[in-house]
């Protein structure tokens, strides 16, 4: 009986080894083909929660490798977010909160447009600044959706940025102009949200 189990276990181990060897071959071939070295443009979109959290997690990864980063938050600003409180004093992060809160709170279109344009003017300078390895434009996509910023201008600046800069942009919807030039696009789906269950937004989770 034990011999049968030993044979069965050995057979399973061999099948597993063969599957992993085949998978490794495919992965190695893909790695061998990916020889271009340059920065990437990553878009995080969708209705689900976690887009900004993912982007800030990626920024933390970049900082772990000694890189220098800059953040522009285009909407948040009504209250200090946890990410701002954590990163604002980091020696290799420049953190800019250019918004005045969510647009439905300010109810001042002219103020929102001015803030968005000021923020994007700064973004254009950062995209040509060799001191920055990683740029995060948090909730930039809303500025295009609301008509505060021009998608063509933004796409042009992103396309002509420094070659080795990595850029991440978050927001529920992404303009076609940005999606056409992006290297990576990830979608965060919304299947359930605590707010719709009547649970109050809380520090450390929503902001």
As a whole number, mean pLDDT of residues 162-174 equals 97
One domain for residues 80 and 154: yes
Q: pTM for the full model?
A: 0.81
One domain for residues 24 and 65: no
SS3 of 20, please?
A: helix
From the number of C-beta atoms within 10 Å of its C-beta (0-12, 13-18, 19+), residue 29 rates as exposed
One domain for residues 53 and 127: yes
| Total count of domains within the chain | 2
What DSSP string describes 37-99? Answer: ----EEEEESSSS-HHHHHHHHHHHHHHTT--EEEEESS--SS--HHHHHHTT-TTEEEEE--
What proportion of the chain, given as a percentage, has pLDDT over 70?
89
Which candidate, 118, 68, 117, 114, places its Cα nearest to that of 95? 68
Residue 121 in domain: yes
Residue-wise pLDDT tens digits, 24-62: 877 777 667 767 799 999 999 999 999 999 999 999 999
From the number of C-beta atoms within 10 Å of its C-beta (0-12, 13-18, 19+), residue 200 rates as exposed
Alpha-carbon Rg for the chain, nearest whole angstrom, is 22
The pLDDT assigned to 102 comes to 45
One domain for residues 148 and 66: yes
From the number of C-beta atoms within 10 Å of its C-beta (0-12, 13-18, 19+), residue 11 rates as exposed
One domain for residues 16 and 117: no
Tokens of 41: 């443009």
> Residue 195 carries which DSSP code?
G
Distance CA 178, CA 18 (A): 42
Residue 206 in domain: no
One domain for residues 47 and 8: no
The pLDDT assigned to 203 comes to 85
The pLDDT assigned to 4 comes to 58
Residue 66 in domain: yes
Residue 11 in domain: yes
- Give the structural domain span for 77: 37-197
One domain for residues 162 and 83: yes
């Amino acid at each position: 009986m034990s011999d049968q189990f030993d044979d069965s276990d050995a057979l399973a181990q061999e099948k597993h080894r063969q599957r992993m060897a085949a998978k490794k071959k495919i992965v190695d071939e893909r790695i061998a083909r990916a020889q271009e070295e340059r920065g990437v443009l990553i878009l995080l979109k969708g209705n689900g929660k976690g887009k900004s959290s993912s982007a800030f997690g990626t920024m933390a990864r970049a900082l772990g490798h000694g890189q220098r980063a800059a953040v522009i938050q285009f909407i948040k600003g009504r209250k200090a977010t946890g990410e701002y409180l954590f990163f604002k004093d980091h020696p290799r992060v420049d953190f800019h909160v250019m918004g005045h809160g969510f647009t439905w709170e300010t109810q001042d279109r002219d103020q929102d447009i001015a803030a968005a344009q000021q923020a994007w003017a700064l973004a254009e300078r950062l995209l040509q600044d060799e001191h920055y390895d990683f740029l995060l434009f948090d909730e930039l996509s809303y500025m295009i959706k609301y008509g505060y910023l021009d998608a063509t201008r933004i796409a042009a600046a992103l396309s002509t940025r420094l070659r080795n800069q990595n850029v991440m942009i978050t927001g529920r919807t992404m303009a076609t102009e940005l999606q056409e030039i992006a290297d990576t696009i990830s979608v965060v789906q919304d299947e359930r949200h605590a707010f719709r269950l009547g649970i109050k937004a809380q520090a450390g989770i929503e902001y």
